[in-house]
Amino acid sequence: MAEVRIELPQGTLDLLILKALTLESMHGWAISERLQQVSREALQVQQGSLYPALHRLERRGWIKAHWATSENNRRAKYYTLTLQGKKQLEVETTAWRRLASAVGHVLDMA
Protein backbone atom coordinates (compact mmCIF):
# COMPACT_ATOMS: atom_id res chain seq x y z
CA MET A 1 0.00 0.00 0.00
CA ALA A 2 1.39 3.30 -1.03
CA GLU A 3 2.23 5.41 2.00
CA VAL A 4 1.74 8.61 0.04
CA ARG A 5 -1.06 10.50 1.77
CA ILE A 6 -2.41 13.79 0.61
CA GLU A 7 -3.27 16.48 3.13
CA LEU A 8 -6.70 17.73 2.18
CA PRO A 9 -6.95 21.51 1.81
CA GLN A 10 -9.45 23.20 4.13
CA GLY A 11 -13.05 22.59 3.11
CA THR A 12 -12.22 19.96 0.52
CA LEU A 13 -13.39 17.12 2.70
CA ASP A 14 -16.85 18.65 2.79
CA LEU A 15 -16.91 18.71 -0.99
CA LEU A 16 -15.78 15.10 -1.22
CA ILE A 17 -18.36 13.94 1.28
CA LEU A 18 -21.14 15.70 -0.60
CA LYS A 19 -19.92 14.14 -3.83
CA ALA A 20 -19.74 10.69 -2.30
CA LEU A 21 -23.33 10.99 -1.17
CA THR A 22 -24.73 11.92 -4.61
CA LEU A 23 -25.30 8.30 -5.57
CA GLU A 24 -26.81 6.92 -2.40
CA SER A 25 -27.20 7.33 1.35
CA MET A 26 -24.21 6.01 3.24
CA HIS A 27 -22.96 5.57 6.78
CA GLY A 28 -19.70 7.09 8.01
CA TRP A 29 -17.46 4.10 7.50
CA ALA A 30 -18.78 3.53 3.98
CA ILE A 31 -18.08 7.14 3.12
CA SER A 32 -14.49 6.84 4.25
CA GLU A 33 -14.09 3.56 2.34
CA ARG A 34 -15.62 5.04 -0.76
CA LEU A 35 -13.33 8.06 -0.68
CA GLN A 36 -10.34 5.79 -0.17
CA GLN A 37 -11.27 3.53 -3.10
CA VAL A 38 -12.25 6.23 -5.51
CA SER A 39 -9.11 8.20 -4.77
CA ARG A 40 -7.10 5.01 -5.40
CA GLU A 41 -5.96 4.85 -1.79
CA ALA A 42 -4.43 8.30 -2.01
CA LEU A 43 -6.94 9.79 0.41
CA GLN A 44 -7.42 8.23 3.79
CA VAL A 45 -9.96 10.05 5.88
CA GLN A 46 -9.47 9.75 9.61
CA GLN A 47 -12.55 9.53 11.77
CA GLY A 48 -11.23 12.56 13.69
CA SER A 49 -11.99 14.68 10.61
CA LEU A 50 -14.79 12.67 9.05
CA TYR A 51 -17.34 12.69 11.85
CA PRO A 52 -16.96 16.35 12.81
CA ALA A 53 -17.35 17.18 9.12
CA LEU A 54 -20.51 15.11 8.92
CA HIS A 55 -21.95 16.89 11.93
CA ARG A 56 -21.03 20.25 10.49
CA LEU A 57 -22.71 19.44 7.18
CA GLU A 58 -25.76 18.21 8.99
CA ARG A 59 -25.91 21.44 11.00
CA ARG A 60 -25.75 23.46 7.80
CA GLY A 61 -28.62 21.45 6.40
CA TRP A 62 -26.71 20.02 3.42
CA ILE A 63 -27.10 16.43 4.55
CA LYS A 64 -29.68 14.64 6.66
CA ALA A 65 -29.06 11.76 9.01
CA HIS A 66 -31.23 8.83 9.99
CA TRP A 67 -30.62 5.54 11.72
CA ALA A 68 -31.16 2.41 9.69
CA THR A 69 -30.11 -1.22 9.56
CA SER A 70 -26.99 -1.74 7.55
CA GLU A 71 -26.14 -4.54 5.05
CA ASN A 72 -24.57 -6.59 7.88
CA ASN A 73 -27.69 -6.21 10.02
CA ARG A 74 -26.27 -3.55 12.36
CA ARG A 75 -27.79 -0.24 13.33
CA ALA A 76 -25.94 2.52 11.52
CA LYS A 77 -26.37 6.22 10.96
CA TYR A 78 -27.01 6.95 7.31
CA TYR A 79 -26.38 10.29 5.71
CA THR A 80 -28.37 11.57 2.71
CA LEU A 81 -27.74 14.56 0.51
CA THR A 82 -30.46 17.22 0.76
CA LEU A 83 -31.67 19.49 -2.03
CA GLN A 84 -29.70 22.30 -0.46
CA GLY A 85 -26.68 20.01 -0.33
CA LYS A 86 -26.96 19.25 -4.04
CA LYS A 87 -26.94 22.95 -4.85
CA GLN A 88 -24.01 23.45 -2.54
CA LEU A 89 -22.17 20.62 -4.25
CA GLU A 90 -22.64 22.28 -7.63
CA VAL A 91 -21.42 25.60 -6.30
CA GLU A 92 -18.41 24.07 -4.64
CA THR A 93 -17.57 21.84 -7.58
CA THR A 94 -17.53 24.83 -9.90
CA ALA A 95 -15.43 26.77 -7.46
CA TRP A 96 -13.02 23.88 -7.04
CA ARG A 97 -12.65 23.37 -10.80
CA ARG A 98 -11.99 27.04 -11.29
CA LEU A 99 -9.41 27.03 -8.54
CA ALA A 100 -7.77 23.86 -9.82
CA SER A 101 -7.51 25.16 -13.38
CA ALA A 102 -6.22 28.51 -12.17
CA VAL A 103 -3.59 26.83 -10.03
CA GLY A 104 -2.81 24.52 -12.98
CA HIS A 105 -2.31 27.45 -15.31
CA VAL A 106 0.09 29.06 -12.92
CA LEU A 107 2.05 25.85 -12.44
CA ASP A 108 2.18 25.15 -16.19
CA MET A 109 3.61 28.58 -16.83
CA ALA A 110 6.90 28.68 -18.71
| Cβ atoms of 84 and 92 closer than 8 Å | no
Instruction: Work out how close the CB of 27 gets to other proteins at its nearest, in angstroms, rounded to a whole number.
Output: 7
CB of 44 or CB of 93, closer to other proteins: 44
Q: How far apart are CA 110 and CA 90, in angstroms?
A: 32
Q: Is 37 in the site for other proteins (CB under 8 A)?
A: no
Tell me if 52 contacts other proteins by CB under 8 A: yes
Which amino acid is it at 79? Y
Toward other proteins, which CB reaches closer, 55 or 87? 55
Q: Which of residues 7, 23, 40, 46 is near other proteins by CB under 8 A?
A: 46
Instruction: Rule CB under 8 A: choose which of 47, 69, 93, 94 binds other proteins.
Output: 47
Taking the CA atoms of residue 52, residue 11, residue 90 and residue 108 in that order, the dihedral angle to the nearest 10 degrees is -150
Of 5-34, binders to other proteins (CB under 8 A) are: 27-29, 32-33
Q: Find all residues with CB under 8 Å of 49, minimum gap 6, and list them.
A: 8, 13
The answer to whether the beta carbons of residues 62 and 82 sit under 8 Å apart is: yes
Q: Can you give the binding site for other proteins, defined by CB under 8 A?
A: 27-29, 32-33, 44, 46-49, 51-53, 55-56, 58-61, 74-77
